[in-house]
Amino acid sequence: MAGGGSGATGGGTNESGATAAGAVTIGGDTSSPEGGSTIAGGLPNGGAAQDAPDPCDAGDPAACLEAVTGVLDEAGNSLQSSWFVTPCMLIRGDYCGWGSLCLNDNHVQDYATWGGRARERFPIGGVKGHRYKVTFNFNAVAVARVYGGGVRDEQKAIERSETQVYDSFYRDGAPDHSPGAFGGDEWQLTVLDDAGREDRHYYMNSFPSADGNVSFEGSSYTFLVSYTKSIVVVGGGVVELLTHDPNCNAPRNCIWEGLSYDKCLAERNLPNEDPNTSLPAQYPHPVTDKPVLTASLFESGVVSQPLVAPAGHLTVTAVERTEELPTKDYP
């Protein structure tokens, strides 16, 4: 997981013209855009100015990056270094359970809302309404999830491997929430504009359902992920990271050798990361949204690598001003 700001998943109108239900309040303005709802409060610790000079026009890339993606949330985190993490309140052999953080463990049919959900909302700085190209690295030990209706960047066939590092980025679309779906962890990144409307969303852990007769989704394996991507965000808007686990029960970060339902021989480090990289000190509680110590979300209390649960680390490496819309697909 990562930290929070003000935002809502699925808010506003996407590029296909469909209107969703959520919106955010920016800068204390409690007016609701047509088709959206509002969340009171505005952006913590400032956010984007409306009439100030754009910090990205001054020829200082470091200052631009800091101004746009370095705005802190209530837990003291920013998009610059942010996380998707599955809580591990109950260690069940080679699986992690959400325990009391599971909002509904009764297997009701509304798969889109039941289970464990943790949302982190990062305010975007810069100038309100200006658009910025944000380039980031993403490294993870991830659960495989199948998405449909969008585009997976890696088009070629892939094999199931413990050591291979995958590009699992997926643009638009949605997971399968029909009854009987495997329902593994969903890692969704949503871009909201300065009026709180959804401009676009992406998924970070997309895999095919199977390689021949060998399953990716629904298996007890986790997979190494690493890629670099660029997306467009909006000054005064929000980037939201959503971890959703309909089953409230995810495979642990375990090596595959001897993998069984009663043990985990060893965990793995995130690929292409400093092995000393650890989770932030605190971020929002999955149920209350109030900042909590990260260690309290893990039965093991371990927040340094190797992490006991699936986790993904997003690190912003560059930001620049752009006139492109969030619908832009960078190669």
pLDDT, tens only, 95-143: 899 998 988 655 555 666 778 888 899 999 999 999 999 999 999 999 9
* pLDDT computed for residue 109 by the predictor: 54
Spatial distance between the Cα atoms of 224 and 144, rounded to a whole number of angstroms: 10
Residue 232 above 70 pLDDT?
yes
Amino acid at 299: E
More confident of the two residues 37 and 88: 88
* pLDDT computed for residue 39 by the predictor: 29
Spatial distance between the Cα atoms of 33 and 48, rounded to a whole number of angstroms: 18
Residue 234 has, within 13 A of its CA and on its CB side, a CA count of: 23
Q: Please state, for a pLDDT cut of 90, what percent of the chain lies above it.
A: 60
Phi, psi of 63 (to 5 degrees): -65, -35
More confident of the two residues 181 and 139: 139
Q: Please state, for a pLDDT cut of 70, what percent of the chain lies above it.
A: 78
* pLDDT computed for residue 23 by the predictor: 31
Residue 18 above 70 pLDDT?
no
Spatial distance between the Cα atoms of 46 and 43, rounded to a whole number of angstroms: 6
Neighbours of 275 (CB within 10 A): 10
More confident of the two residues 178 and 266: 266
Q: Could you tell me the pTM of the whole model? A: 0.84
With 0-12 / 13-18 / 19 or more C-beta atoms within 10 angstroms meaning exposed / middle / buried, residue 252 is buried
Give the pairing type, strands 223-234 and 238-245. unpaired
With 0-12 / 13-18 / 19 or more C-beta atoms within 10 angstroms meaning exposed / middle / buried, residue 52 is exposed
Token pair listed for 132: 């910025």
- What letter does residue 54 receive in the DSSP assignment? P
Ramachandran class of 106: left when φ > 0, alpha when ψ lies in -120 to 50, beta otherwise: alpha
Most confident of 84-88, 143-147, 290-294, 318-322: 318-322
Q: Is the dihedral of CA 268, 270, 275, 281 positive or negative?
A: negative
Q: How far are the Cα atoms of 243, 261, 310, 321 from residue 284, in angstroms, in the given order?
A: 12, 30, 18, 30
More confident of the two residues 97 and 9: 97
Among 2, 273, 317, 312, smallest CA distance to 135 is for 317
Token pair listed for 255: 């090596």
Amino acid at 24: V
93-103 pLDDT per residue, tens: 888 999 989 88
Token pair listed for 70: 């370095």
Of 2-11, 68-77, 100-109, 248-257, give the lowest mean pLDDT range.
2-11
